[in-house]
Amino acid sequence: MSTYVYGITTGSHPSLPDGMEGVGEPARQVRIIKEGDLAAVVSDAPEGLRPKRRDLLAHQNVLAETGAAASVLPMRFGSVSPDDAAVAGVLAERADHFKERLEALSGKVEYNVKATHDEEAVLHRVMSENPEVRALTEANRKAGGGSYDDKLRLGEVVVAAVQHREAEDAAELQRALEPVAAAISVGPESTGWLANLSFLVERASAEDFIAAVEEVRKGQPHLEVRLHGPLPPYSFVEPGPSEPAETHH
């Protein structure tokens, strides 16, 4: 029987609530596999598991319950190992890494920030900031709209200016929020977002982080900023690019 893994914690972690249930229908009982100083929070893996709402919530609930008492390294939904022995083997093999990560993530949560442009507002901003766009627009206006080629040229210049603005805004967003975070992980580029960033934030200073996001919203009204969190620190189970792996002195 395959083993479903929710997260990794210390071997001294307080025991789980009695009868705690995880993924699957019927829900599988959650249990602990201990190996040395570490423990994995697991259950039997259901056949053909799909990311249905009920199972996603069950996964999150197990992590929330486990993380309420002590630091936990969250595994992403659908992490399955061949059996309990294989889970114990990974705990033994990567013990130093998991201990370092547990220490680094202790008392911290993840916030995901995605940003996109308000199309109308960014066009207005580009028009006011970019002399070339202004000059072409004015020339076309004087020529009664301009020729097809003139319109095409203006369109190309506007697109280039908006793309430049996207890169500038993504960098500015990162600069504004980095000082209030412990680490940052840049998410995969996805269409529709000019920035997709995950921040590791001290639980105790989460309000400061949220306030910094609000400041960006106020100062950059042409940006639409979405904040999602607090989340288990999924993006930081492996050391991120802005955070060296070797934190031992």
Q: How confident is the model at residue 134 (pLDDT cuts 50, 70, 90)?
A: confident
Q: How many CA atoms lie within 13 A of 116 on its CB side?
A: 9
Cβ neighbours of 8 (radius 10 Å):
28
pLDDT at 130: 75
Give the mean model confidence (pLDDT) for residues 177-183.
Answer: 94
Number of residues written out for the chain: 249
Report the Cα–Cα distance between both ends of the chain, in Å, rounded: 41
Q: Give the percent of the chain with pLDDT over 90.
A: 55
Instruction: Decide if pLDDT at 19 tops 80.
Output: yes
Q: Which of 52-56, 223-227, 243-247 has the lowest mean pLDDT?
A: 243-247
Higher pLDDT, 44 or 66: 44
Strand, helix or coil for residue 145: coil
Report the alpha-carbon distance of residue 241 to residue 187 in Å, rounded: 11
What residues are paired with 8 via a beta bridge? Answer: 40, 73
Q: What is the pLDDT of residues 45-71, one digit of tens each?
A: 999 888 899 999 999 999 988 887 778
pLDDT score for 249: 35
If you average pLDDT over residues 200-204, what whole number do you get? 93
Averaged confidence pLDDT in the chain = 86
Confidence of residue 240 (pLDDT cuts 50, 70, 90): low
Note the pLDDT tens digit of each residue in 78-127.
999 999 999 999 999 999 999 999 998 988 999 999 999 888 888 878 77
Q: Which of 81-90, 130-139, 217-226 has the lowest mean pLDDT?
A: 130-139
